[in-house]
Amino acid sequence: MEHSARKHRLLSHLPSIHIGGYMWLLAALLVLLIIAPLLSSFTVFTLRLSALLSLFVLLAGIFAVSRSRIAVYTLSILALCAVVLELLHHFGMNDWSAITANFFALFFLTGLFIIVEYDVFSDRQVTLETLAGACCGYILMAAIFASIYSILLQYNPEGLSLWEGTTFKSSDIIFQGEKYGVLGYFSITTLTTLGYGDIFPNSQATRSTAAIEAIFGQLYLAVIVARLVGMYITSRSVVQPAADR
């Protein structure tokens, strides 16, 4: 009996792990980032498996903002338009349907990013959901710029140049077909200012976009770390006096 009471007191001091919307969104983004490119050559009923996996990000994003009816309706409409237009392009429509689909995907990702960051900066305590939201925001930023690069390449296929040892052409990644994930890879290496040099901007539009992304990537980390540290210090300063009473 005493052992059970001690165990109960110990568990009561441990933080409870609640898998909320941003945890699921982070999992979906990591799957899209890591696993989807490995499956880009596989198809299900003529649809690429990597494209089907991207649906999980749309669903997880809508689920993450499910507490707001307006946000759910807005993101659902944007996601539905993007999916329908992408299917039309897949089944024989002209390239304008793919371009429009990319715009709707860009609006969806941007709206989701704004909502996530609003939640992160509105929190008063650092929780697992707060950390997941901060990580989601960073990956979403890379996805937003990947969509922008895709749109720019549709207007100028030579906007990105490849290292001479690369086994595919820049035109192969315009619609991210079997080369799905290449633009995401380029966006992440730019966001983190890593820059291996195997893919580099080759037009004024892509150079300016890459420069903006690199700046935003560094500013985001600086601001979000400062915010999380400030939230943690504030929460500790509130809890400590209460514990001393």
Q: Is 143 left (phi over 0), alpha (psi -120 to 50) or beta?
A: alpha
Q: Please check the confidence at residue 109 and state whether its pLDDT lies above 90.
A: yes
- Check if the beta carbon of residue 85 is closer than 8 Å to that of residue 195: no
- Check if the beta carbon of residue 105 is closer than 8 Å to that of residue 133: no
> pLDDT of 57-105, one tens digit each?
999 999 999 888 999 999 999 999 998 988 887 777 677 888 898 899 9
How far is it, in rounded angstroms, from Cα 67 to Cα 58?
16
What are the residue ranges spanned by the domains of the chain?
A: 21-244
Q: What are phi and psi of 40, to 5 degrees?
A: -65, -20
> pLDDT of 162-185, one tens digit each?
888 777 777 667 766 567 788 888
